[in-house]
Amino acid sequence: MTAASFWPLVGEFSLALALGFSLFTFSVSVWAGRSQKANLLRIAERALYATTFLLTVATLLLVSQFLADNFLVRYVYGYSNQEMPIIYKITALWGGQDGSLLFWLWLNSVFASAAIFTHRDTDRSLLPYAITVFAVILIFFCGLLTFNDNPFRLFPMAPADGRGLNPLLQNPSMAIHPPSLYLGFVGMSVPFAFGMSALISNRLDARWIVTTRFWTLLAWLFLSIGNLLGSQWAYVELGWGGFWGWDPVENAAIMPWFTASAFIHSVMIQEKRGMLKFWNMHLIVLSFCLTILGTYLTRSGVVQSVHSFARSDIGYYFLGFLLLTLIVSWALIYWRRNELKSSNVFESFLSKEFAFVVNNVLLVGSAFFILYATLFPTFSELITGKRIIIGPPFFNEHLAYLAIGLLVLTGIGPMIGWKKASKENLRRSFVWPTIVGTICTGALALLGMFDWYVLGTGFGVGFVVTTLIMEFFAGAHARMIQFGESWSTAAIRATLKNNRKYGGYVVHLGLVLIFAGIAGAVYKKIYEFDMKPGDVQYVEEYTVRFKGIQQFDRPNQVETFGILDFYIGDKLVQEMRPARFFYKAQEQPSTEVDIYSRLKEDVYFTLGSIDPQTQVTKIHITLNPLISLLWIGGFVLVLGAVISMMPSLSLRRRD
């Protein structure tokens, strides 16, 4: 043993010990569940915390090896080199398969421990089997890392330098995007574990839903942030001017978001009306399984993607784990089918309950459509021997119908009454939103926009924003009458006392902005010019003058910038510097775009090929209308989710 191999071997030991502790946690928690002995439950809890501690040690040790440039560790050699900035040496932890699995496992253990610790006093009846489920997940990942994908494997001799991280991953968004998605994925294990525990222990009232509400919202929030950051990364890093390419790995990340969104809505029906218990159990199983399926798709090589990790046999293990999870979960649901019967029945199609069911059908339908289209090339190859690729237009065309339906339902759901909406309720709630929606559609048509998706989005935006305003005013007005408060006091108190509901409305507003941003992409325009230094080109209201090329030789990469003066009308507003980097260690180029952002549109510059003899350079300019609304909407959506997760002021005051 040498000094360089000392800490990696401690990390390997820590990982193996964590596997032992997860097995112990599993056994003791099952015993605690069967015997209901408090001491056993205490030990199971502590064993889970100890597993988390050991995984923390292993993760920190792997990060320390990156920081120490210890290329004796194969994984460090594969994803780092001496010239890489410290931040990317840390993010290299999840740059490859083994490290990302360790990172995932560690996050999962932290989430599991935090959930168990938070509910250790209030929900003890659900704890033993929830710990069991967490332990099964940890055993699977620990086993995989210990026996198949050990990130601490060593070379016999250390190479002089590493291969470095994929240049595409050397981007600030990559510091937050994967952890955020992983947090969303592992967060889904909390409601899943408590749901399974409720099934095993036959405590199928609304308690497990109330217990996991915060965790479900947190997982959904991280999935949303992860997907938004992924879009942002694709927009600024891949240089193609788009933000979502329906790549299989992107699809793997968005599918659980759809089912989790459906779950968040349908649990409200269970909480308020005692309905959809059976469906909710299926939804949480589906959401959790989709996170595992996503990992299978990413790592097995069954789909081709720019994001995929190397093809490996790890996919079979994930497939096995996925099937096992599905079989056991469905068996448990079937076992408790009588207890999962609804306490009430649907009374009308014109009711909040039915609106939520339609919302669920559209959300889950979207997830299944994406799954089908993602796996279609694989199935076509299996059946016909030919791989038929499905491109973004297919996704956009078919999902557009579901999207418009969902947008309109975003306005209907909050306004329609429970049980059976009266004519008066329908008239009062939907006449004005319909009028405003129609006016928006008409206005777009007058501006010459006749694309059906844009017109539909215009109607949806007008409709939903009006319902949100009406709902807010109605809540404040009710308080003014009930408590004699001034309008401002009533508005603030109504929001603070029911932050769950109003936070949800803010999320809806965020979604409306995102929809508007996406609709803008229909009118995207792409221009391409061959320019010599001194050349001037005109793009609508903009003028661009090419000044020339600048080149810098950095330790990690060679940077080539195209320098352009950018004018709006006659006014010089900014010097634009789109670039191409060439990463020396990986011998790989990357495109670095430069963007001038306005609320109306983004002017997106990309540097193309350069003729070294004539200095003629290809400049791509893309006009992306309303794209800022996508990012603003994302921010509003995150804000709304945070508001919704905060404890209710009315509860706190009474406490």
Q: Which residues bind another protein (CB under 8 A)?
A: 1-3, 6, 9-10, 13-14, 17, 21, 24, 38-39, 42-43, 46-47, 49-50, 53-54, 57, 121-124, 206-207, 210, 271-272, 415-422, 424-425, 428-429, 474-475, 477-478, 481-482, 497-498, 501, 648, 650-651, 654
How buried is 48 (Cβ within 10 angstroms: 0-12 exposed, 13-18 middle, 19+ buried)?
buried
In whole angstroms, how close is the CB of 12 to another protein at the nearest point? 10
Residue with tokens 């993760």: 59
C-beta of 42 vs 532, nearer to another protein: 42
C-beta of 81 vs 266, nearer to another protein: 266
- For residue 626, the number of C-alpha atoms closer than 13 Å in the C-beta half-sphere is 17
Report yes or no: 75 and 61 within 8 Å, Cβ to Cβ.
no
In whole angstroms, how close is the CB of 23 to another protein at the nearest point? 13
In whole angstroms, how close is the CB of 54 to another protein at the nearest point? 6
The 8-class DSSP code of residue 530 comes to E
In whole angstroms, how close is the CB of 238 to another protein at the nearest point? 43
Cβ burial 169-195 (10 Å sphere, 16+ → b, else e) = bbbebbbebbbbbbbbbbbbbbbbbbb
In whole angstroms, how close is the CB of 38 to another protein at the nearest point? 5
- For residue 193, the number of C-alpha atoms closer than 13 Å in the C-beta half-sphere is 31
C-beta of 410 vs 429, nearer to another protein: 429
- Beta-bridge partner residues of 602: 597, 624
Strand duo 588-592 + 594-597: pairing: unpaired
C-beta of 121 vs 587, nearer to another protein: 121
- 230: closest CA among 303, 181, 272? 181
In whole angstroms, how close is the CB of 40 to another protein at the nearest point? 9
C-beta of 13 vs 596, nearer to another protein: 13
Please state, in angstroms and rounded to a whole number, the distance separating the CA atoms of residues 77 and 159. Answer: 8
In whole angstroms, how close is the CB of 18 to another protein at the nearest point? 9
Please state, in angstroms and rounded to a whole number, the distance separating the CA atoms of residues 217 and 361. Answer: 20
In whole angstroms, how close is the CB of 422 to another protein at the nearest point? 4
Which H or E element spans position 536? Answer: strand 536-539
C-beta of 55 vs 636, nearer to another protein: 55
C-beta of 11 vs 633, nearer to another protein: 11
C-beta of 67 vs 478, nearer to another protein: 478
C-beta of 53 vs 527, nearer to another protein: 53
> What secondary structure does DSSP assign to 583-620, as a single string?
ETTTTEEEEE-EEEE-SSEEEEEEEEEE-TTT--EEEE
The 8-class DSSP code of residue 225 comes to H
Report yes or no: 71 and 160 within 8 Å, Cβ to Cβ.
yes
- Beta-bridge partner residues of 552: 559
Please state, in angstroms and rounded to a whole number, the distance separating the CA atoms of residues 55 and 139. Answer: 12
